[in-house]
Structure 1
């Protein structure tokens, strides 16, 4: 096989040398140079494997005889036959191919010249011009354009697919919720234990629930975040457009829809859910200047975010309670009186400050002026530390001080003088005004609650607080429908104001002592075991806060529609300490708690949109 390949290669080189010789002769090269090149090729072939194929036949001898200028010898028939075999082996032609080698080239040249002459003559005879003849002169290659079109088509399809995917990634699905841009398949296999950590236990629906899958865990986190951080009204999706009245909807239905959508304008909020209350602690209200003693009083301004704080450090402070910065607005130092109680009056334009002294102070917020009132004329009261103020900005608002021997002096804020007094059967320990300022309820050590008409200064009725040995706190709801009383034993009774014997309208004429009626509460709360010192209703009468300063973290929130206590707050980790005062903001969104450490804790109630 290798000899055959070498034989073919040698024959090819010989043929190339032969043809190369003819070409160089046509170009006028010297004969001796051509002969030398050809001889060299022949010698290489004779010394290779091809020499065995031709026996004694030598290419060098043949070429030497063909050199120009040498005497040609006569070729024998045997050599001529071997030359013919070599020619047939090289060129694959017949025996006469060598004889016509030169003639074929000359004949081809002559035929080509004759064809050109004939074509020129034919063109000269035909003078007409056909534009179609130029069609073969220009060729338009459309293969590249077609491939580019295919690529452009694929690119357009890919771009359209990408655009569709981007559009569909943010569009809402059939359920109204946006489709996720990307899903991790490992989330479905994840298992999260929510019972092992305190921060995750609030995600449980029931106490036995322990493990959640990845999607369920994500959904619970979203629900918890929505409860703690509700969306504002302007960020909610707009309601669907209602059909006009002429399209089958009557005027009554349209009016009903209008009233249903005007809830915020009418002041009606949604119902507070029972069982769990969602709230978050924000920055302390007095973090810029904490009290150096017990915070005895906290109260929100009736029309804004201004918060009043006062305590035994003799300072009356005002803070802008927004939950974010809680900047201090003003501070007043009363050198000669540790403050036991402070409250707004005259619609929030003034503040009354009292302590265990025979005098009290009135601070004007607009003028930033402090006025000292030297006691009550005609009364020898050793202490004016307890009082209540009329909540309405009436023409002549009153202050009701809790004096000795069941006497309740009434002082006008206009004249700064006593304008009357009320007399109870027992000692006066606590009192509360109604929201309109027309009624006053008082109670004391005998456990009897008195209801007073402030227009006639007469007692409307008396009732025994059921199960109460000594009443220590009273409160009336802003809506006027509920009354709450706290006792020294920790029991809090809630009464319905419209059906209670406290307001049946029986007038005590004083001619003969009438026996006190027995009032049956609609609910008795036994969650606290020490003396109730503070009770406060929420602005919509849906929540009630009650606290005792005798025990640590003794504060509870009550859901009034169901008359049950919220179970999730406060927790064991809530840093309430010993609660001495509390108050709700006008909008219900804030709860302020003053404790014995001198801090005013501030909590955001997420059910209420406004502060």
Structure 2
């Protein structure tokens, strides 16, 4: 359901779009976002045309379907019945990953044993893997230098998956969309959500929309259309009072919501409808999807991890995080090989997902233990190539560490010794790891350039 929102800040205003008349503010924002190129929707349509040109034939014909059509008076023909079923399935579930046809490239890379993750062929040939101990990092202009009105606490710094754009949100309920040029970061658009303290923001894989949630007791979340610059308020299911944990699957198919109790709701990201309720044994403090979006990991308050299969919606593995007294946060690597768990004791245990699937013990040994912080872990993030693991704690100022993978050595030059960067609330990396962003308690979305990576 739609709800009223406050007027956006700045010159741009959100207006209702007439069916046959393009809003000039919408066109302006669209040009800024997509570099004055054709509309993003046209690009997405072009991808659909390419897939439609393929000669797709059914793998088999089910006689039961034909018999059901013949006996069902509601459908006059086979095509009408099949289209109805297909439409209903795709509305609820989307296209399953096994049914997607991917073009063959002929140059499939193998997993690198040297680093422990999937690298590009160019990097493997050049032998320019990230070195340990010292990280080539340079402070850049704050991502929100052109706004500074998101609130004292910057709680999310989310990078756009395809464009040099970042979304910054904070305790004042203001969300800003900013372009990143490396030298000067300009505001593209900004809007305010009344009585909201922004907690999380997640871009869809296409980059045309973003999901935004609040840390307060709001039974809604914001669905933001970047092209039209229109935020839409959507109600949560009645059984959820607030979204303590809100995650979007990497393929953009599922939304997982947990209110801090022992149940997770799985919603369709397209239809926004409830698909399944997953019952956990203990209260959940953190959730994350696997790299393939086929599994969901739930981290319990006492350190128990439940692994769910999203095809069958059944738990297939449970284990206890070794040495954990109070669970805090969980995250999975983009390569799919590692699972990192941070606890209230300042310990980060890293597990190999392959060993978790093969092992049957309730107390598996972690692959590596990182104990560089002594306070509660509140932020964990892998970079895109799984060469860096960012760890932060919002208990003490400058409580942050960057871990090199696979050596698991701490980079010595971050944070800079003797420099106070405030209490950190969030950490994130751009799609190609060219930038790292952290939000602190001084209203700054700190931005850093990682020189080892040449692209945004």
Match of 1:309 in 2: 168
Preserved contact between residue 323 and residue 602 of structure 1 (Cα < 8 Å): no
Alignment counterpart, residue 369 of structure 2, candidates 512, 521, 524: 524
Q: Does 1:434 align with 2:280?
A: no
Equivalent residue, structure 2, for 1:283: 141
CA distance in 2, matches of 1:269, 1:292: 43
Within 1, Cα distance between the matches of 2:244 and 2:286? Answer: 12
Which of 306, 322, 335 in structure 2 is aligned with 1:450? Answer: 306
1:359 aligns with 2:220: yes
- Range moving further from structure 2, 333-342 or 457-466: 333-342
- Contact 1:493–1:525 under 8 Å retained in 2: yes
Spell out the pairing of 1:9-28 with structure 2 (5 A cutoff).
none
Tell me if the contact between 1:532 and 1:546 (Cα under 8 Å) persists in the aligned partners: yes
Structure 1 gaps of 5+ residues are: 1-254, 256-261, 507-515
Q: Secondary structure at the match of 1:594?
A: strand
- Count of paired positions: 335
SS at match of 2:206: helix
Partner residue of 2:400? Answer: 555
Structure ID, larger Rg? 1
Alignment CA distance shift 1:422-1:296 (3 Å): same
Q: 1:455/1:269 Cα in 2 relative to 1: closer, same or farther (>3 Å)? A: farther
Residue 183 of structure 2 corresponds to residue 320 of structure 1: no
The 3-state SS of whatever aligns with 1:565 is coil
What secondary structure is seen at the aligned counterpart in 2 of 1:264?
helix
Deviation by residue 1:12-49 (Cα, 9 ceiling, x = unmatched): xxxxxxxxxxxxxxxxxxxxxxxxxxxxxxxxxxxxxx
CA distance in 2, matches of 1:349, 1:320: 15
User: Which whole-Å CA distance do the structure 2 matches of 1:607 and 1:346 have between them?
Assistant: 25
- Shift of the 372–266 alpha-carbon distance from structure 1 to 2, 3 Å rule, reads farther
Corresponding residue number in structure 2 for 1:298: 157
Aligned counterparts of 2:268 and 2:295: Cα–Cα separation in 1:
16
Cα distance in 2, alignment partners of residues 298 and 518 from structure 1: 35
Change (3 A) 1:263 1:374: closer
Greater RCO structure (CA 8 Å; 6+ sep): 2
Give the Cα–Cα distance (whole angstroms) in 2 for the partners of residues 297 and 535 of structure 1: 13
Kindly report structure 1 stretches of 4+ aligned residues shifted beyond 3 Å.
262-269
1:341–1:385 contact (8 Å) kept in structure 2: no
* Distance change >3 Å, CA 339–CA 553, structure 1 → 2: same
* Residue ranges of structure 2 left out of the alignment (5+ in a row): 1-106, 108-119
Match of residue 348 from structure 2: 492
Q: Is the 8 A contact 1:426 1:445 kept in 2?
A: yes
d(CA) in 1 for partners of 2:384 and 2:419?
A: 24
Q: Summarize the Cα distance change of 1:411–1:268 in structure 2 as closer, same or farther, 3 Å threshold.
A: farther
Quote the offset at 1:440 in angstroms: 1.2
Q: How far 1:287 sits from its partner (Å)?
A: 0.4
Secondary structure, counterpart of 2:261 in structure 1 = helix
Larger relative strand fraction: 2
Alignment of 1:183-194 (within 5 A): none
- Report the counterpart of residue 129 of structure 2 in structure 1: 271
Question: What TM-score, normalized to structure 2?
Answer: 0.70
- How far 1:268 moved relative to its partner? 8.3
- Per-residue CA deviations over 1:233-278 (Å, capped at 9, x if unaligned) read xxxxxxxxxxxxxxxxxxxxxx9xxxxxx94398987211111111
Over 3 Å counting, the alpha-carbon distance change for 1:453 and 1:361 in structure 2 is: same
DSSP-derived class of the 2:237 partner: coil
* CA-atom RMSD in angstroms: 2.0
Contact 2:154–2:444 under 8 Å retained in 1: yes
Matches within 5 A, 1:111-150: none
Q: Which residue of 1 aligns with 2:334?
A: 478
Shift of 1:338: 2.1
Contact 1:486 1:535 in 2 (8 A): yes
Match of 2:425 in 1: 580
